[in-house]
Each structure stands twice: as structure tokens, then as C-alpha cells.
């Protein structure tokens, strides 16, 4: 499903991503305001919240990711030269880098998230000194390289940060590989967080409003959601501005915003109509999209009668994430692959839930005393949330009602029938 996500693979790995997911789930459950969630992620002080800087450890990665995720602005092109199409300059880029150049993430032994496996805990700190350096055109006659000069921290489209001088003759202690620096008396990153989450910030609330809208509607007013620029203007700027303003007035209450979106006529539109655009620009019909891996896993548990609690507790395995995609990134991309197809149709992780066992729906249907017409009706209502058609009923009843004294064959037929329903596009997509 497009490019891989660093929160899923690499040195951090899915196992450690789970700690961040658990932390994030608690924030949503408590209805923590979005500005506070964003601040906590960048403060990286609470257990589980530190994963962001464990993934994006390099200063350039921090600048690019923070600008994209929280400000919906891409300034990475200005690292080596002034942006050719936008107003961003190299000094804008390195001014942002100065806020993060002192940030340091380390791995320390921690409580494992899976029994009998080792685990790491990620801690984040900030040094007292350290500067982002900007390369000048002037050549140093000794080194034959471009001279560099420190760049002061500068807010995007704003002023330079006013900060005290570091202690005279201060030298940053040499740190071990898993050692954090002492907490600085003055934190550049804290000042950036205060600026970013301010209600007057020209980027933050607008980016949040657009991203949440896109999560539910399939595309943002500005699309892709992380690329506001002069040539990528909102499709409905008045509505975007209204949502941005109300989000600020409701103190970044995400539950309020979600309620407003899902109660809107735009969200409740059917997926029918004359438009054939895969992602309708003006939301004239509902966009059909694949369920995310998390949604798909939870839906399968519910469809198989395992209950909502089981669905909420179950997290996709690393294999499912590997083959079926990454967390929704707001880009609207979906491209099925051969490996995904083979995993869905030959892997046992999803099909195993379709087997009659441990009181699940397939077992109840297999052992139940109802007629097969009623059983098939229940299958379709449970899995696809719709009544069975006459043609479907005839085919399924004919297949399942074959008189057999072999319980293994009967169980296999029930598994096959359930798998037909969950492996099709009607279950996989949000039709």
C-alpha cells in the first residue's frame, strides 16, 4: 500500500510501536485536546510518547516530519537551496532545525511489550548547547570547504527566538551511547511547542482541521494533507476556515470535531452518483476506500462473533502490517500487490478466525438447530451487514447443507463459506 512507514519497520519495529499506540489510545479515551497531544509527543516525557523521536532521530528528519505532520508544510527542499516555487529559504529551514538540533533520543533496557521477549524503552532529552550550521558561499582557505555560520532558531513566517546566552565556558559533557544529557535550564524545543500549539499559530489548527476531515472523508480540502502551498489551494476554503475557527474555539476537542463531521450530510452521502472520480474533490458522493489494517482486524473479530472487547484488544501482527499496509497517511493511496493477495488468500492469520471453534459465529451456525436459510441470512448480516440476496442464499444453502456425517468436512465447508465473505471487496472496503 505505497511506501513503508518508519513506525512499522526498521530498528524501532512494530513491537515498540505498540507502546506508543497504547499511550495514544489513552489520550483519545480521555479526550485530551489535540494541541496537548501534539505537545506531549514533542515533549516526549510520558512513557510511550517518546517513540516519535526514536523514529525521527536525525535533525533533518525532525524538521521534515514536524513540518509535515503538525504544520502541513513541506520545507525540506529549502535545506540545500532556497525553495524554487515557495517563499521558504535555506535560513527558514535551518532556523527550524535550530529548535531540534539539541534533541537526543536513546535506547535503554525497558519492560518488554511481549512476554518472553526483550524490549527497549526510548528516552528523549535535550542538550544545553548545539547549533544548526548554515553553509556560506565563502570558501575557507585552510579546509577548502564552504564556511559555516550558526543559524538562530526562527519560527516559520515569524521572528527569531529570543534566548539567554548559555553559561560562560560551558562544555557539553561527553555522553555514553544510552545516556541522556541533563535537562537544560532553557529548552528551545519547549519554546517551539509553545509557538506551534498557540491558538494564533497560522499553521497548526488549519492543518489539524484538514487532516481530521481527510481521515473521515477520504481527502482533505487541501490534498495531500501535508502539503499546503501556493499552488495547492483548498477546494472549499470557507468551510476549511470555519472548521479551523471552531476547532480553536472548542479548545481542540477532537470528539467535538468528529461528531460534527460524521453528523454532516457530506459524510453521510451514499457512494452512488454520476461522479467517477476515485476521490471526489467536492465530496458529491462517498469515497470507497480500503479499511486500514487496524479497522480490518477489528471488523473481522466482530464479524466472527468474538465481541467488541476482543476487537478492541487485538492489535495487527507485524506480518499483517507488512503485507496489508501502513497506518492511514491521508494521501488517499491504495495499490493492491501480489504479496498482499497471496497473504490474504493463502495466509492463516485471517482465515484461522473463520474456522468453527471456541464459540465463535461459525461454530454456533454449524451446531445450531436453525434451518440453513436462517443461518445463511445471519452470516450475511453479521459479516456484510446486509440481507442475503435470493441468488446468494441458494448458492450458500446448496453448499452448506450437503448431508455429510464427516464433521471435519462440514467444518471445512463452513470455514470456506465464511472466508468467501470476508475475503471479498465488500468486506475489505467501506462500501
> In this structure, are 109 and 41 located in the same domain?
yes
Query: Last residue of some domain: 287, 316, 336?
Result: 287
> In this structure, are 277 and 302 located in the same domain?
no
> In this structure, are 34 and 83 located in the same domain?
yes
For 280-289, the CB contacts below 8 A with 24+ separation are: 280/219, 281/219, 281/235, 282/235, 282/236, 283/217, 286/218, 286/430, 287/217, 287/218, 287/219, 287/332, 288/429, 288/430, 288/431, 289/218, 289/332, 289/334, 289/429, 289/430
> In this structure, are 262 and 227 located in the same domain?
yes
Print pLDDT tens along the chain (431 aa).
333 444 433 334 444 567 888 899 999 999 999 999 999 999 999 988 998 998 898 999 999 999 999 999 999 988 888 887 888 888 899 999 999 999 998 888 766 444 334 456 788 999 999 998 887 666 667 776 777 888 999 999 999 999 998 888 888 888 888 888 989 999 999 999 999 999 999 999 999 999 999 988 888 999 999 999 989 999 999 999 999 999 999 999 999 999 999 999 999 988 887 877 777 888 888 887 778 888 888 899 899 998 887 777 777 777 777 777 654 554 555 666 787 778 877 878 788 889 999 899 999 999 999 999 999 999 999 999 999 999 999 999 999 988 767 889 999 999 999 999 998 889 988 75
> In this structure, are 166 and 208 located in the same domain?
no
Query: Last residue of some domain: 196, 221, 246?
Result: 196
Query: Last residue of some domain: 266, 287, 308?
Result: 287
* Residue 161 pLDDT: 96
* Residue 4 pLDDT: 40
Number of structural domains (the chain) is 3
* Residue 248 pLDDT: 98
Q: Which residues contact 259 (CB under 8 A, 6 or more apart)?
A: none
> In this structure, are 328 and 236 located in the same domain?
no
> In this structure, are 269 and 149 located in the same domain?
no
> In this structure, are 281 and 364 located in the same domain?
no
Residue 380, in any domain of the structure = yes
* Residue 277 pLDDT: 79
Q: How far is CA 83 from CA 77, 91, 149, 330, in A?
A: 6, 11, 20, 24
b/e per residue, 323-341, with b = 16+ CB within 10 A?
A: bbbbebbbbbeeeeeeeee
* Residue 3 pLDDT: 35
| Alpha carbon distance 241, 205 (integer Å) | 10
User: Domain limits at 234?
Assistant: 198-287
> In this structure, are 144 and 155 located in the same domain?
yes
> In this structure, are 179 and 247 located in the same domain?
no
Amino acid at each position: 500500500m505505497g511506501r513503508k512507514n518508519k513506525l512499522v519497520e526498521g530498528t524501532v519495529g512494530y513491537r515498540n510501536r505498540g507502546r506508543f499506540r497504547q499511550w495514544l489510545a489513552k489520550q483519545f479515551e480521555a479526550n485530551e485536546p489535540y494541541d496537548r497531544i501534539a505537545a506531549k509527543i514533542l515533549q516526549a516525557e510520558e512513557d510511550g510518547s517518546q517513540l516519535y523521536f526514536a523514529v525521527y532521530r536525525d535533525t533533518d528528519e525532525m524538521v521534515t516530519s514536524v513540518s509535515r505532520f503538525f504544520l502541513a508544510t513541506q520545507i525540506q527542499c529549502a535545506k540545500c537551496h532556497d525553495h524554487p516555487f515557495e517563499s521558504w529559504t535555506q535560513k527558514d529551514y535551518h532556523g527550524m532545525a535550530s529548535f531540534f538540533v539539541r534533541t537526543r533520543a536513546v535506547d535503554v533496557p525497558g519492560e518488554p511489550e511481549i512476554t518472553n521477549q526483550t524490549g527497549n524503552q526510548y528516552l528523549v532529552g535535550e542538550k544545553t548547547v548545539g547549533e544548526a550550521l548554515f553553509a556560506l558561499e565563502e570558501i575557507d582557505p585552510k579546509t577548502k570547504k564552504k564556511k559555516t555560520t550558526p543559524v538562530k532558531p526562527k519560527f516559520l513566517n515569524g521572528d527569531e527566538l529570543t534566548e539567554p546566552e548559555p553559561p560562560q565556558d560551558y562544555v557539553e559533557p561527553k555522553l555514553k551511547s544510552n545516556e541522556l544529557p541533563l535537562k537544560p535550564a532553557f529548552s528551545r524545543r519547549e519554546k517551539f511547542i509553545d509557538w506551534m500549539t498557540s491558538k494564533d499559530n497560522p499553521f497548526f489548527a488549519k492543518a489539524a482541521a484538514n487532516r481530521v476531515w481527510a481521515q473521515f472523508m477520504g481527502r482533505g480540502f487541501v490534498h495531500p494533507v501535508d502539503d499546503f502551498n501556493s499552488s495547492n489551494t483548498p477546494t472549499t476554503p470557507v468551510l476549511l476556515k470555519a472548521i479551523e475557527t471552531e476547532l480553536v474555539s472548542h479548545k481542540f476537542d477532537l470528539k467535538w470535531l468528529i461528531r460534527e463531521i460524521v453528523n454532516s450530510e457530506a459524510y453521510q452521502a451514499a457512494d452512488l452518483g454520476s461522479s467517477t472520480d476515485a476521490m471526489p474533490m467536492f465530496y458529491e458522493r462517498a469515497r470507497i476506500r480500503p479499511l486500514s489494517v487496524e479497522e480490518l482486524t477489528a471488523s473481522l473479530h466482530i464479524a466472527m462473533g468474538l465481541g467488541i472487547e476482543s476487537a478492541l484488544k487485538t492489535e495487527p501482527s507485524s506480518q499483517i502490517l507488512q503485507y496489508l499496509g501502513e497506518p492511514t497517511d491521508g494521501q488517499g493511496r491504495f495499490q493492491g500487490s501480489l504479496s498482499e493477495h497471496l497473504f490474504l488468500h493463502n495466509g492463516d492469520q485471517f482465515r484461522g478466525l473463520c474456522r468453527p471453534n471456541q464459540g465463535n459465529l461459525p461454530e454456533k451456525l454449524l451446531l445450531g438447530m436453525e434451518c440453513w436459510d436462517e443461518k445463511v441470512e445471519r452470516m450475511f448480516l453479521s459479516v456484510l451487514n446486509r440481507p442475503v440476496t435470493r441468488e446468494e442464499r441458494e448458492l450458500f444453502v446448496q453448499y452448506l447443507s450437503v448431508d455429510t456425517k464427516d464433521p471435519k468436512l462440514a467444518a471445512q465447508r463452513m470455514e470456506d463459506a465464511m472466508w468467501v465473505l470476508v475475503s471479498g471487496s465488500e468486506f475489505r472496503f467501506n462500501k
